[in-house]
């Protein structure tokens, strides 16, 4: 759910969609909401205002019949051109690793209008972009939802790069007929990326969730860029095109917010792989399957999870000595049931297998898991999700995961080291913890840019410590009620825009130095995760 301003208190627990009565939406799955929006509301004439626009676009050959039904359509290149390509500049570049970050990179971008023969150029020198890769066009059409929101036509372009050299910096540019990035006039649009090294070496990665489009979101992006990260993890609730989720008459879906978000993020994501997973605001009922059709149009992720199309936010990759696992907590959430159980347990079974494989693999010291809904948090707005705890905590303990990162609550909070949900070791700022022997630290890094939440107790962070032995909070139960908790694990609490930076050091005594940085650059927390060889 979207946040309220600080101190506004808890939000309603339902997740209604645009134009669906509140009580009805609370009982509907994402596929049911999609069907309602695409058929029932259309028959009532709600979408009549967009029919002429859709007909014109379809008649021009830019859309097929299925595109008018609201799911993304993969168009063969070249796409039909509506304007002179020299008048159209690409924007919103964003990178993502393939399944093997040493040799695979995926590049996505947008154009505001249809263009002919989009492509990517890549090479080892900025003046030598000799390799040319044809781009895939993923067209997304959103009908007019109200008099204030016109029909939106979005063109997302994607190029897959395989066979790259490990640990190598590449230069790339994106273009189409009439706009060549190798042309000196467009040289300023050339970007860079670096593949993962063949062998473990020191590196930094960053993470947060709940970003949206705002000054604070942009400020966090620029601070992240200053960390020179090898990649960035986004723990869901990416742009908030699905606005407040409270079922009011003002609850409208505005696809154009994605254009703003990708333009805002480009300064970082054009050179830093932006690895996302799905939050509750990323379930967009206008696009099937399961509200993830828009995700499939906008992002190309590793695709090595249990079902790349239906669960795009579930995957894993390895960078150096760190394995990263992305999960979709919408599947197991008790608080927000719209997609509850949509994988039929396949995601959890895959997680068990994948964690076992990663723990048995040579060269992997640390396993980091990230997803949206919090296993452990004490905020007044969402607190903890019992569904996440029931489904996944036993697996995290079983496979000795080293670090868990969440969003959902728009604050920074972290736990002591936990085993089976109980404190196994106190971890004040500056402390070190061996996850294999002493427990897992759970981090909520939801201060990426949306309006902040509040805690039921005072903040307590580095330099301003006010630790409490007990905090009164709650967790969501299977019947969607709030069960009261008295917890001892809330070690650090910070109400402010922030993110985490993790400096990884391989070697005989590998470690991850985790630092939480406020939007001002102030350090509000730091701790160290170690792992003894052989564990």
Segments forming the whole domain that contains residue 66: 47-191
Tens of pLDDT, residues 199-217: 999 999 999 999 999 999 9
* pLDDT (mean) for 367-372: 98
Inside any domain, residue 28: no
The answer to whether residue 67 scores a pLDDT higher than 70 is no
State the pLDDT at residue 303.
96
Inside any domain, residue 4: no
Inside any domain, residue 17: no
DSSP helix/strand/coil, 139: strand
State the pLDDT at residue 244.
52
Q: Are residues 364 and 499 in the same domain?
A: yes
Tens of pLDDT, residues 413-472: 999 999 999 999 999 999 999 999 999 999 999 999 999 999 999 999 999 999 999 999
For the beta sheet containing 366-370, the strands, ordered from the edge strand earlier in sequence to the opposite edge, are: 315-319, 322-326, 366-370, 403-406, 441-445, 412-415, 490-494
* pLDDT (mean) for 351-355: 98
**H/E element holding 88?**
none
Instruction: Give the angle 489-521-204 at the CA atoms, nearest 5°.
Output: 75
Count how many domains the chain has. Answer: 2
The rounded distance, in Å, linking the Cα atoms of 79 and 139 is 10
The rounded distance, in Å, linking the Cα atoms of 438 and 440 is 7
Q: Are residues 185 and 245 in the same domain?
A: no
The answer for residues whose C-beta is within 8 angstroms of residue 484's C-beta and 6 or more apart is: 472, 473, 474
Q: Are residues 147 and 211 in the same domain?
A: no
Q: Are residues 96 and 223 in the same domain?
A: no
Of 475, 463, 468, the residue nearest 491 (C-alpha): 468
The answer to whether residue 45 scores a pLDDT higher than 90 is no
**Boundary residue ending a domain (163, 191, 219):** 191
Strand partners, 516: 500, 525
The answer to whether residue 474 scores a pLDDT higher than 90 is yes
Inside any domain, residue 88: yes
Residue 277: exposed, middle, or buried by beta-carbon count in 10 A (0-12, 13-18, 19+)? buried
Q: Is 171 left (phi over 0), alpha (psi -120 to 50) or beta?
A: beta
**Boundary residue ending a domain (153, 174, 191):** 191
Q: Are residues 134 and 257 in the same domain?
A: no
Q: Provide the CATH number for the domain around residue 117.
A: 2.60.40.380
Q: Are residues 231 and 167 in the same domain?
A: no
Inside any domain, residue 329: yes
pLDDT confidence tier of residue 341, bands split at 50, 70 and 90: very high
pLDDT confidence tier of residue 34, bands split at 50, 70 and 90: confident
Q: Are residues 214 and 184 in the same domain?
A: no
Q: Are residues 213 and 136 in the same domain?
A: no
The answer for residues whose C-beta is within 8 angstroms of residue 207's C-beta and 6 or more apart is: 232, 233, 234, 235, 370, 405, 443, 445, 499, 500, 502
Q: Are residues 348 and 216 in the same domain?
A: yes
**Boundary residue ending a domain (191, 214, 233):** 191
Q: Are residues 117 and 219 in the same domain?
A: no
Look over the chain and give the mean of its residue pLDDT values, rounded to a whole number: 87
The answer for residues whose C-beta is within 8 angstroms of residue 323's C-beta and 6 or more apart is: 316, 317, 358, 361, 364, 366, 367, 368
Of 166, 145, 182, the residue nearest 97 (C-alpha): 166
Q: Provide the CATH number for the domain around residue 287.
A: 3.60.21.10
Q: Are residues 378 and 470 in the same domain?
A: yes
The answer to whether residue 195 scores a pLDDT higher than 50 is yes
Q: Are residues 299 and 173 in the same domain?
A: no
* Strand intervals (E) in 355-481: 366-370, 384-385, 403-406, 412-415, 417-419, 422-425, 432-434, 441-445, 471-476
The answer to whether residue 53 scores a pLDDT higher than 70 is no
Strand partners, 233: 207, 275
- Specify the higher pLDDT residue, 364 or 10: 364
State the pLDDT at residue 77.
44
Inside any domain, residue 161: yes
Inside any domain, residue 98: yes
Of 251, 211, 257, 218, the residue nearest 234 (C-alpha): 211
Inside any domain, residue 40: no
């Amino acid at each position: 759910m979207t946040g309220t301003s600080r101190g506004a208190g808890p939000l309603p627990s339902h997740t209604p969609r645009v134009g669906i009565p509140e009580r009805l939406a609370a009982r509907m799955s994402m596929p049911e909401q999609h069907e309602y929006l695409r058929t029932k509301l259309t028959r009532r004439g709600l979408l009549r205002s967009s029919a002429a626009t859709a007909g014109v676009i379809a008649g021009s050959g830019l859309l097929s019949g299925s595109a008018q039904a609201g799911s993304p359509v993969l168009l063969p290149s070249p796409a039909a051109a509506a304007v002179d390509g020299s008048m159209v500049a690409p924007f919103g570049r964003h990178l993502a690793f393939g399944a093997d970050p040493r040799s695979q990179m995926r590049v996505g971008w947008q154009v505001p209008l249809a263009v002919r023969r989009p492509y990517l150029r890549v090479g080892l020198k900025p003046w030598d972009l000799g390799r040319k890769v044809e781009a895939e066009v993923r067209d997304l059409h959103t009908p007019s939802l109200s008099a204030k929101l016109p029909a939106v036509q979005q063109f997302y372009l994607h190029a897959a790069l395989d066979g790259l050299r490990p640990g190598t910096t590449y230069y790339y540019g994106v273009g189409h007929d009439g706009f060549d990035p190798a042309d000196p006039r467009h040289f300023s649009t050339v970007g860079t990326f670096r593949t993962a090294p063949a062998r473990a070496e020191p590196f930094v990665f960053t993470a947060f969730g709940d970003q949206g489009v705002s000054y604070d979101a942009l400020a966090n992006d620029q601070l992240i860029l200053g960390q020179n990260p090898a990649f960035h993890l986004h723990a869901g609730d990416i742009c908030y095109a699905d606005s407040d989720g409270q079922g009011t008459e003002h609850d409208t879906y505005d696809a154009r917010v994605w254009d703003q978000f990708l333009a805002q993020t480009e300064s970082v994501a054009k050179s830093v792989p932006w690895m996302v997973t799905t939050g509750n605001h990323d379930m967009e009922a206008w696009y099937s399957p399961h509200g993830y059709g828009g995700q499939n149009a906008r992002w190309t992720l590793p695709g090595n999870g249990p079902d790349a199309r239906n669960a795009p936010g579930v995957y894993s990759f390895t960078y150096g000595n760190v394995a990263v696992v992305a999960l979709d907590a919408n599947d197991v959430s008790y608080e927000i049931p719209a997609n509850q159980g949509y994988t039929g347990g396949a995601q959890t079974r895959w997680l068990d297998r994948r964690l076992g494989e990663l723990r048995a693999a040579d060269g992997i010291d640390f396993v980091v898991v990230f997803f949206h809904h919090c296993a452990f948090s004490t905020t007044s707005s969402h607190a903890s999700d019992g569904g996440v705890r029931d489904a996944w905590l036993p697996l995290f303990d079983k496979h000795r995961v080293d670090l868990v990162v969440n969003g959902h609550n728009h604050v920074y909070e972290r736990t002591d080291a936990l085993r089976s949900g109980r404190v196994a070791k106190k971890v004040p700022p500056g402390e070190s913890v061996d996850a294999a022997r002493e427990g897992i630290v759970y981090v909520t890094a939801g201060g990426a840019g949306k309006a902040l939440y509040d805690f039921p107790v005072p903040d307590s962070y580095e330099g301003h410590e006010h630790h409490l032995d007990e905090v009164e909070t709650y967790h969501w139960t299977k019947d969607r009620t709030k069960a009261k908790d008295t917890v001892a694990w809330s070690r650090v609490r910070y109400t402010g825009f922030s993110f985490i930076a993790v400096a990884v050091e391989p070697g005989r005594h590998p470690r991850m130095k985790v630092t939480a940085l406020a939007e001002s650059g102030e350090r509000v927390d730091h701790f160290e995760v170690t792992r003894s060889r052989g564990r």
